[in-house]
Amino acid sequence: MTEMTLLTKPAHELAALLRAGEITSEELTRVHLEQIEALNPTLNAFLAVDAVGALAAARDIDARRAAGEELGPLAGIPIAVKDNFCTRDLPTTCGSRMLEGWLPPYDATVITRLREAGLVILGKTNMDEFAMGSSTETSAFGPTRNPWDTDRIPGGSGGGSSAAVAGFLAPLAVGSDTGGSIRQPGAVTGTVGVKPTYGGVSRYGVVAMASSLDQPGPVARTVLDAALLHEVIGGHDPRDSTSIPGSPTGLAEAARMRDVRGMRVGVVKELGGEGYDADVEAAFLGAVELLKEAGADVIEVSCPHFTYALSAYYLIHPAEVSSNLARFDAMRYGLRLGDDGTNGAEAVTSITRGEGFGREVKRRIIIGTHALSSGYHDQYYGSAQKVRTLVARDFDAAFELCDVLVSPTTPTVAFRLGERMDDPLAMYKADLCTIPSNLAGNASASFPVGTSEEGLPIGLQVMAPPLADDRLYRVGGWLEAVLEEKWGGPLLQQMTPLPETKAVFA
Amino acid sequence: MTEMLDYDDVLENFDPAIGLEVHVELSTASKMFCGCSTTFGAEPNSQTCPVCLGLPGSLPVVNAKAVESAIRIGLALNCQIAPWGRFARKNYFYPDMTKNFQTSQYDEPIAHDGWVDLEVEGEMFRIDVERAHMEEDAGKLTHVGTSGRIHGAEYSLLDYNRAGTPLIEIVTRPILGTGAKAPQVAKAYVSHLRDLMRALKVSDVRMEHGSLRCDANISLAPKGAVELGIRTETKNVNSLRSVERAITFEMRRQGALLLDGGRVKQETRHFDEATGTTRSGRSKEEAQDYRYFAEPDLVPVAPSAEWVEELRATLPEQPVARRKRLAGEWDTDELAMRDIVAVGAMDMIEETVAAGAAPQAARKWWVGELARRANEGGVELEELAITPKDVAEVCALVASGELNDKLARQVFEGVLAGEGSAREVVDNRGLAVVSDDGALKDAVDKAIAANPDVAARIRDGKHQAIGALIGQVMKAMRGQADAARVRELVLEELG
């Protein structure tokens, strides 16, 4: 075993090596910091790297382990954090000029839980500005590139995290999913991304985009890793009123089951057809065949209102955005422009917001402000809320018949950088399949199912009822085992290694 | 100079309609949506956290105690309590709002459709309460510069200690049919709310600290008209007296305007305590669109029927019932009770009686001497630097003969001047009535010797002359003698 093969190992295997004393967290952290140094200039996955803090945390875990302390299952494992999680004394920018250099005075609950579980925070990953985008191109700090093809996008908004995990810069990451920001990047980078049931993971300290849709979740290379991380970050938080009582259990167990016999699987009729890449549909249908062969009951179900989900989402989401982002007014923290003594407070706010927010953010603030304004409120925001209810009812009806629903995660493979930047609607369509679960609040995940003809990864989306997150892991764990056997190893092994990479498969 | 119509002419031509919005700051230990302290007067920005500073990522959590207070207030106002209700975001930009939206209740208030009965100068009025809802207070802005307002300020200071303090806003329906008594009815209503909040122990209702704030909507309609006139909303009405003055002023101002063929502009006006006038503020015609929507960061407030009933059982006596009960206990007639209510002395007398004083004595001091001093100082009775316990102590000293009324007044003066408790003032000033017969006898003998004519007349049975001698003795004793005992001693000598 060389240091370089450590980079490609799943987190649960690394954890076993740490427990066995074969490697130290410091060693593991150092290898990842070196890989970041080598690859980040190409990928721009990290916006901030905390080498000093990470090594200190790693040494602390090593010392505690040496002292015989009982540690959590992922203690000592390095992790990347999306830049919208507040991290005490570590920059938190949300990919925006508006928060450039802002050092939060507090940790998000997820961060507290990571630290308590002994994970080592490597740094903060790039994202679309305030998580608005599906390509990480709206980041004020430049786009992130997809390690499979650096001319292509790594998905968004959590493209920094997906690229970091797919490019072996970190074995794990945490992200947030408002319309697909964990799942779609997972699909286009060949990694695992899970959006837990709304309320399953605390939002406290995650800079809000659309509060009723935002849900933090795990990003990983394997299903079991995602489950283990989900168990670390999940569970009730008294600081988040919308957080669900209790803790998630049985997720890792479900990931290890590797059996889908008797599971009722619904193929959502509306999520396919026109606008979907043939390769994506083929890979998806291939996975559905495997499910049938493995003894699952596969049926087709209709969720007629999913057709309107995207439209409803693009009213509810910007409405909440317009309110959540109002606090960035240059008064208390973050960017302040035009404060030269000639401008009053109102003008300073206006100048700062004008310069500090990017185009996509401004577009959504304007749409949201309009959707909520007097005289239009019922017509736009009100109607969208009704559609939201109908989408949730479609799910309810489908889950009467099925244990899980499946669809492609996103209609296409990773598109080229710049390809959709001037066409917001095309960009929004990347989230066509993922948005319904945000509107309804149920659990959903993306797992790698193959590659396109041009060698780009494709994801399968699994959707489960609220609180039945374990079913995602059961299907995902089985699928991974079957496919890896077929492929002769993980999908990421099919990626052409980047010239600068230090990662090697054993 | 604003044109003003005579009050009588206003009433001859118009019917006033008033509407009151009262904000009550709850005295919960912590804020509405976070654990920060709500103590008044702390070092600026020392009572803040990521939540009340609205830092990115922070989330609110509802203070259960505030909900409890809101329900109790609603019940005390005879309101229906909503079994399910959401908070809403009221979106507007202002530097005193850390999130640039206020978390409030909009179309789903926790309490609605209640009423309050008031008696004003023997006449009963029913005030309909439209709603009572929960919201958070904003921070405090201090504009530095000559203007004292945001426009023209050199800079502004922000203190977010108050940001997030729980507020209950109580809104009446238009109050009609009060005629000439409109200002008094409004004052009586606010005074009633103050008493109620105090009885509920949900707020310290100190108008001077802003823990009870009142906005008054006023409009005039031609006499007998069905439709209400255009209203103004007067803010900054922050004392009971101001409620009365602001409404009177607006009635007279609007009356002059309307009678002159003018139009009342729908606007916000500010009351100026110093001049007793209102001046134009922000025009409602350019009012903001608050873009309300249900607060997604909070779950709905859904008090169970059992909980509401439990809280109903904790309600204190209603003020009207209490007044009746106390009149009986104190053996006080209706007229005297009215005086007590007029000076706002009910609580103080009750507490003084509870501290051991006789009701009549307690009433005498609070309604007389102390009310006079409060009035002179332009403050409310309970703002005087004297406690019911002090007054009870003085009453006890008078009852035991250790003090007389004159000395008692001096004790009050000392306590109010900050010289300590009643006992301490008595001791430090050496104010006890002289009960040493030896000293008194000496003084009596001296007085008799100095006034042989008077003494002779008393000896002749002209007892009315005795007052002159008592006066001499009291003067010699610097007032610290028991006049009755002096009289006895004089009669022993001369009788």
The answer, yes or no, to whether residue A238 has pLDDT greater than 50, is yes
Identify the closest residue of chain B to A106 by CA–CA distance: B50
DSSP A131: G
Residues of A in contact with B139 (CB under 8 A): none
Question: B454: which 2 tokens?
Answer: 């008077």
Q: What angle do CA A384, A389, A395 make, to 5 degrees?
A: 125
- A431 burial via Cβ count (<10 Å: 0-12, 13-18, 19+): buried
Whether the Cβ atoms of residue B418 and residue B412 lie closer than 8 Å to each other: no
Residues of B in contact with A330 (CB under 8 A): none
Is A181 considered catalytic here?
A: yes
Residue type, B467: G
The closest of B468, B459, B451 to B495, measured between CA atoms, is B459
Question: Cβ A207–B289 below 8 Å, yes or no?
Answer: no
Identify the closest residue of chain B to A339 by CA–CA distance: B155
Chain B contact present for A389, CB below 8 A: no
pLDDT of res. B149: 66
Provide, rounded to the nearest whole percent, the portion of chain A with pLDDT above 70.
Answer: 99
Question: Across the interface, which of B57, B156, B298 has its CB nearest the CB of A207?
Answer: B57
Whether the Cβ atoms of residue B269 and residue B233 lie closer than 8 Å to each other: yes
Chain A contact present for B158, CB below 8 A: yes
How confident is the prediction for chain A on average, in pLDDT?
Answer: 97
Question: Across the interface, which of A329, A333, A381 has its CB nearest the CB of B100?
Answer: A329
Chain A contact present for B60, CB below 8 A: yes
Strand partners, A416: A152
Distance CA B447, CA A114 (A): 94
Whether the Cβ atoms of residue B269 and residue B250 lie closer than 8 Å to each other: yes
pLDDT of res. B286: 56
R_g of chain A computed on alpha carbons: 21
Full DSSP string of A485-497: HHHTS-GGGGSPP
CB interface of B with A, residues 295-324, below 8 Å: 296-299
Strand partners, B341: none
Chain B contact present for A243, CB below 8 A: no
Distance CA B173, CA B223 (A): 20
* Four-residue CA torsion sign, A392, A394, A397, A402: negative
- A80 burial via Cβ count (<10 Å: 0-12, 13-18, 19+): buried
Chain B contact present for A395, CB below 8 A: no
Our CA dihedral for B255, B258, B262, B265, rounded to 10 degrees, sits at 70
pLDDT of res. B1: 57
pLDDT of res. B148: 62
DSSP A503: -
Is A157 considered catalytic here?
A: yes
Question: Across the interface, which of B55, B59, B62 has its CB nearest the CB of A239?
Answer: B59
Note down pLDDT in tens along chain B; length 495 residues.
578 999 999 999 999 999 999 999 999 999 999 999 999 889 999 999 999 999 999 999 999 999 999 999 999 999 999 999 999 999 999 989 999 999 999 999 999 999 999 988 889 999 999 999 999 999 998 888 776 666 667 888 999 999 999 999 999 999 999 999 999 999 999 999 998 998 899 998 888 788 999 999 999 999 989 999 999 999 989 889 999 999 999 999 999 999 999 999 999 999 998 999 999 986 544 567 999 999 999 999 999 999 999 999 999 987 778 888 999 999 998 888 888 887 889 889 999 999 999 999 999 999 999 999 988 887 878 888 899 999 999 999 899 888 888 889 989 999 998 898 888 888 888 887 776 777 888 888 888 888 888 888 888 888 888 888 888 888 888 777 777 778 888 888 887
DSSP A196: P
Whether the Cβ atoms of residue A217 and residue A196 lie closer than 8 Å to each other: yes
Mean pLDDT of A246-255: 96
pLDDT of res. B284: 47
Question: A26: which 2 tokens?
Answer: 């410091």
Active site residue: A9, A82, A124, A195, which one? A82
Q: How far is CA A173 from CA A106, A374, B354, in A?
A: 20, 41, 66
Distance CA B114, CA A419 (A): 61
Interface test with B, best of A92, A176, A313, A324 (most B CBs within 10 A): A324
pLDDT of res. B285: 47
The answer, yes or no, to whether residue A83 has pLDDT greater than 50, is yes
Distance CA A6, CA A506 (A): 9
pLDDT in tens, A308-360: 999 999 999 999 999 999 999 999 999 999 999 899 889 999 999 999 999 99
Identify the closest residue of chain A to B287 by CA–CA distance: A374
Is A444 considered catalytic here?
A: no
How many A×B Cβ pairs under 8 Å?
102
Tell me the helices (H) and strands (E) count for chain A, helix number first.
17, 11
Question: Cβ B56–A212 below 8 Å, yes or no?
Answer: no
Identify the closest residue of chain B to A320 by CA–CA distance: B296
pLDDT in tens, A8-52: 999 999 999 999 999 999 999 999 999 999 999 999 999 999 999
pLDDT of res. B145: 79
Provide, rounded to the nearest whole percent, the portion of chain A with pLDDT above 90.
Answer: 97
- In this structure, the strands spanning A192-195 and A215-220 are antiparallel
Distance CA A195, CA A435 (A): 11
- A113 burial via Cβ count (<10 Å: 0-12, 13-18, 19+): buried
pLDDT of res. B403: 86
Distance CA B476, CA A328 (A): 77
Question: ipTM score here?
Answer: 0.95
Whether the Cβ atoms of residue B186 and residue B18 lie closer than 8 Å to each other: yes
Whether the Cβ atoms of residue A206 and residue A194 lie closer than 8 Å to each other: no
Whether the Cβ atoms of residue A154 and residue A62 lie closer than 8 Å to each other: no
